[in-house]
């Protein structure tokens, strides 16, 4: 009876698996602050992508751990057509063609200062950053990614990317905008994974990411990105902002995604390791909360483990 009257269902198709990519072959590097998560070389990322597809997960989201020698003030490696991420995209689309590939559009993995945009005298340059983000998005589209996902929170970048994609005939490349991305303390393990935490140091991103106290602002930000051509929008982090997810879902008729960010994942994983609760049940319950709030897709580092325990895979 409980199954028959259940209002909300969690399916493998709801999940997106983030992958951290490194150079080399047949190597995995554990991310110490993310229990059970490894940085993977492209060959192992292909194996993981194939496993995700077999479990019914529709897409992976790629994030590079860029060698320090390639990081510059302007993050120019972000639009190198032979970059680590571009090679990973081409390999994944060749080997697992039915698996969607989402690529992050932001400069933080590529800059020596760890910020998402260009920095001059300690100040983020919005318009100059938008110009290079367009270049990065086009490079990723040319490599074959299905979805570009600007996570930088610069004003006007969605419209500029949409115009450039249309102009260069990438009309089928979708834009997943990180439209409501908060200046959160829960990003720490992610920054460890991509190597931006050391570069960022004690600095923060409060000049361009949202104030956690604001929810009406999120609706304004989302509305602007939709008007500029976003196909889907993201709320990030996830669980501390379930009210924002619900508000966005009610206000706009577009797919709304949520990100169970690294800090959220780490808390649940470490709590389970301490025996405080059952890991599988904790992830199921937390991800159901996203679905109950109205999220259509959820990025989570637990995607493989969760999908393997859902109906059809057990």
Q: Does residue 197 carry a pLDDT above 80? A: no
- Residue 200: predicted pLDDT: 72
Q: Provide the pLDDT confidence category of residue 313 given band limits of 50, 70 and 90.
A: confident
Tell me the two tokens of residue 109. Answer: 């993995």
How does pLDDT run across 131-147, given as a tens digit for each residue? 999 999 999 999 999 99
Catalytic annotation present for 181: yes
Give residues with Cβ within 8 angstroms of 177, minimum separation 6: 149, 150, 158, 225, 230, 232, 233, 234
Pull the structure tokens for residue 279: 């890991």
pLDDT in tens, 256-270: 999 999 999 999 999
- Tell me, yes or no, whether 77 lies in a domain: yes
Ranking 94-108, 174-188, 189-203 by mean pLDDT, the lowest is 189-203
pLDDT at residue 195 in the model: 78
Range 68-94 average pLDDT: 96
Alpha helices per DSSP H over the chain: 42-54, 84-95, 126-143, 157-167, 188-194, 197-200, 216-228, 242-251, 262-273, 279-293, 303-308
Question: Residue range 11-25: average pLDDT?
Answer: 97
The predicted model gives 111-121 an average pLDDT of 91
Using DSSP's 3-state secondary structure scheme, residue 183 falls into: coil
Up-side HSE of residue 290: CA atoms within 13 Å toward CB?
29
Please give the Cα distance from 73 to 71 (Å, whole number): 7
Residue 256 lies in a domain: no
Domain that holds residue 186: 12-234
- Tell me which residue has tokens 């493998």: 12
Q: Check residue 195 and report its DSSP letter.
A: T
Report the candidate in 201, 269, 210 with the shortest Cα–Cα distance to residue 240. Answer: 210
Structure tokens at 63: 């994030």
**pLDDT exceeds 90 at position 35:** yes
Using alpha carbons, list the distances in angstroms from residue 40 to 20, 23, 261: 6, 8, 19
Decide if 291 is inside a domain: no
- Answering whether pTM is above 0.85, one says yes
Among the listed residues 243, 252, 193, the one whose alpha carbon sits nearest the alpha carbon of residue 220: 252
pLDDT at 198: 66
172 domain-assigned: yes
Arithmetic mean of pLDDT, 56-62: 98
Catalytic site residue 281? no
Residue 30 located in a structural domain: yes
**Domain membership flag for residue 80:** yes
> Which residue carries 């669980």 as its tokens?
239
- Domain-embedded: residue 254: no
User: What integer pLDDT is reported at residue 314 of this predicted model?
Assistant: 61
133 close to 157: Cβ distance less than 8 angstroms: yes
Helix (H, G, I), strand (E, B) or coil at 104: strand
67 belongs to a structural domain: yes
Average pLDDT (15-33) is 96
Active-site residue, from 236, 274, 281, 291: 236
Q: Which of 181, 205, 281, 291 is catalytic?
A: 181
Residue 28: pLDDT band with limits 50, 70, 90: very high
Residue 78: how many other CB atoms lie within 10 Å: 27
Q: Which of 105, 20, 34, 13 is nearest to 273 (CA)?
A: 34
pLDDT at residue 202 above 70? no
- The alpha-carbon radius of gyration of the chain (Å, integer) is 18
DSSP state, 211? Answer: P
**Helices 84-95 and 126-143 meet at what angle, rounded to 10?**
30
CATH code, domain with 230: 3.20.20.70
- pLDDT, average across residues 161-180: 97
Q: Distance between CA 287 and CA 295 in Å, rounded?
A: 10
- Overall number of domains in the chain: 1
The answer to whether 15 and 57 are in contact (CB under 8 A) is yes
Assess whether pLDDT exceeds 80 at residue 121: yes
* 287: nearest Cα among 276, 298, 296: 298
10 Å Cβ neighbour count for 54? 14
């Amino acid at each position: 009876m409980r199954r028959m009257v259940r209002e909300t269902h969690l399916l493998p198709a709801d999940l997106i698996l983030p992958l951290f990519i490194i150079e080399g072959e047949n190597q995995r590097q554990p991310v110490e602050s993310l229990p059970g998560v490894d940085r993977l070389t492209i060959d192992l990322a292909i194996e993981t992508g194939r496993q995700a597809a077999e479990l019914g997960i529709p897409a992976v989201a790629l994030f590079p751990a860029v060698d320090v020698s390639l990081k510059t003030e302007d993050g120019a490696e972000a639009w190198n057509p032979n970059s680590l991420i571009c090679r990973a995209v081409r390999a994944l689309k060749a080997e697992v063609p039915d698996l969607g590939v989402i690529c992050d559009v932001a400069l933080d993995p590529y800059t020596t200062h760890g910020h998402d945009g260009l920095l001059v005298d300690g100040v983020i340059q919005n318009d100059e950053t938008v110009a290079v983000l367009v270049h990065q998005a086009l490079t990723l589209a040319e490599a074959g990614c299905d979805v570009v996902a600007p996570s930088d929170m610069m004003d006007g970048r969605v419209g500029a990317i949409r115009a450039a994609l249309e102009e260069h005939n990438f009309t089928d490349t979708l834009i997943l905008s990180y439209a409501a991305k908060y200046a959160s303390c829960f990003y720490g393990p992610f920054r460890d994974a991509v190597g931006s935490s050391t570069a960022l140091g004690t600095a923060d991103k409060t000049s361009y990411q949202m104030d956690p106290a604001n929810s009406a602002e999120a609706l304004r930000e989302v509305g602007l990105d939709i008007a500029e051509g976003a196909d889907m929008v993201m709320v990030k982090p996830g669980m501390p902002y379930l009210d924002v997810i619900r508000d966005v879902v009610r206000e706009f008729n577009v797919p709304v995604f949520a990100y169970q960010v690294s800090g959220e994942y780490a808390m649940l994983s470490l709590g389970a390791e301490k025996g405080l609760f059952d890991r599988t049940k904790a992830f199921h319950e937390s991800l159901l909360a996203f679905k109950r709030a109205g999220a259509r897709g959820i990025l989570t580092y637990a995607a493989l483990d969760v999908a393997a325990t859902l109906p059809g895979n057990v």
